[in-house]
Amino acid sequence: MCEKQRHRASKTINMVHEDGLSLGLGYGGEGATTTESKLSSDGHHQKQQDLQFKHCYYEPSLTLGRPSDDSNSVVSSFSNGVNTSAPAAVKRERDDVASEERPAVSSRVSDEDEDVGTGVRKKLRLTKEQSAMLEDSFKEHSTLNPKQKQALAKQLNLRPRQVEVWFQNRRARTKLKQTEMDCEILKRCCENLTDENRRLQKELQELKKIKYAPSSTPPIYMQFPAAATLSVCPSCERMISSTGGSGDNTKAAAPFLIAPKPTHLYGSFTNSPAAC
């Protein structure tokens, strides 16, 4: 959103790389979520394990402590044990199951019991590199076919589901941004139209004054240079020429006709402007 927040986000991502040995230990480090987020806990942990066995759940290698220098080797994935109904979980991992050979599930670390009993789901942050590559890919195509998804997931060392979710959220953000822009444009447009309307109303009042002014008060016409040759059409209230004789009221009233009435809005009127 704002620059400040963007800064915050980037700072957050940086922490993933810079936190070093402390990564993933305890609360507070983004690294914890990045390197250890897959360490779900408590009852959910068991649930997750069941899931993994059931679907040969893919768990790329993971070690506790200092992450590899290669940020892409830091697996930004975790298993969400909360709010995970079985059908959803099955669906969620469908693409993984369908197309990937999974290594044995054995990479859980020793302190996986860290939040046993808390039921908290850990927050994942993609690494800067992963985000950048996803962004690049999104620029090329905002949706992915299964093959692309698989390839990207493999490349980024993420689960296909994560790639899928990232694209979903990314599309949503894009749409939201576009909507905000559209809204802003419409808002400005509305303001302009309101101003214009106000101005035209004022002008109309002035013209009505002219029309209904007694003929014995010629000075009022002097306020409008072309007024002496103009009159107001009673049906459409447009200015028409009384002397030019051309019949082209638009041209004749040009000095006063700032914004021609949209004919489509008046189409149902018996006295259309064209009738003048």
Partner DNA sequence: CATCTCAGTTGTATTACATCA
Partner DNA sequence: ACTGATGTAATACAACTGAGA
Nearest to 36 by CA among 71, 69, 77: 77
175 binds DNA per the rule CB under 7 A: yes
The two three-digit tokens of residue 276, written as one number: 């003048």
Region from 24-32, 209-217, 223-231, 260-268 binding DNA, contact rule CB under 7 A: 24-32
Cβ closest to DNA, residue 77 vs residue 241: 77
User: How many residues bind to DNA according to rule CB under 7 A?
Assistant: 57
CB 50 within 8 A of CB 164: no
Angle at CA of residue 150, ends 145 and 154, nearest 5°? 150
* Site residues (CB under 7 A) for DNA, limited to 45-84: 76-80, 82-84
Site string for DNA, 135-174 (x = CB under 7 A): --------xx-x--------------xx-xxx-xx-xxx-
How is residue 34 written in tokens?
């990045």
By CB under 7 A, what part of segment 109-138 binds DNA? 119-126, 131
10 Å Cβ neighbour count for 77?
21
- For 74, counting Cβ atoms within 10 Å of its Cβ (0-12 exposed, 13-18 middle, 19+ buried), the class is buried
Tokens of 251: 């041209």
Give ∠ CA 133-136-140 in degrees, rounded to 5: 140
62, amino acid identity = L
Which span (61-69, 91-99, 184-192, 208-216) binds DNA, by CB under 7 A?
91-99
In angstroms, the Cα distances linking 238 to 198, 225, 232 are 17, 17, 5
Select 37 or 71, whichever has its Cβ closest to DNA: 37
Footprint of DNA (CB under 7 A): 1-2, 4-5, 7-9, 11-12, 15, 27-33, 37, 76-80, 82-85, 88-89, 91-92, 94-95, 98, 119-126, 131, 143-144, 146, 161-162, 164-166, 168-169, 171-173, 175
